[in-house]
Amino acid sequence: MIFLTAGPDVTPITDLILTWTHIGQALVGSIGALAFIFAFLWKITAVEAKSALEAKQWIQRIVVGTIGVEVAGSLVNVLTSSVPPTAH
């Protein structure tokens, strides 16, 4: 009688998680860069001080959001690499 000595193979799940994480990071990075450019142009061309302040706040939100996505991606990499590989 043959017994299984290894646990289930989690490689497909970790690969799927990493793939979707990279796709999400690429989308947020692309959209974030475009939003940053528009907010920067808005700040430069703003006539009123209130409008320039709002543009500055949007730039800060975009930067914080982009950093948050990068930190989340790093956390996913740490968590998926902590899963021990299974021997076949």
Residues 5-16 have pLDDT tens digits of 666 777 888 888
Cβ-contact 46, 55 below 8 angstroms: yes
Instruction: Provide the terminal-to-terminal Cα distance of the chain, rounded to the nearest Å.
Output: 17
- The whole-angstrom separation of Cα 11 and Cα 49 is 54
| pLDDT of res. 5 | 62
Helical pair 49-81 and 11-45, crossing angle rounded to 10 deg? 170
- The whole-angstrom separation of Cα 58 and Cα 39 is 7
Domain limits of the chain?
A: 16-81
pTM: 0.63
The larger pLDDT score, comparing residue 54 to residue 9, is at 54
- The model's confidence at residue 57, banded by pLDDT at 50, 70 and 90, is very high
3-state secondary structure (DSSP) of residue 4: coil
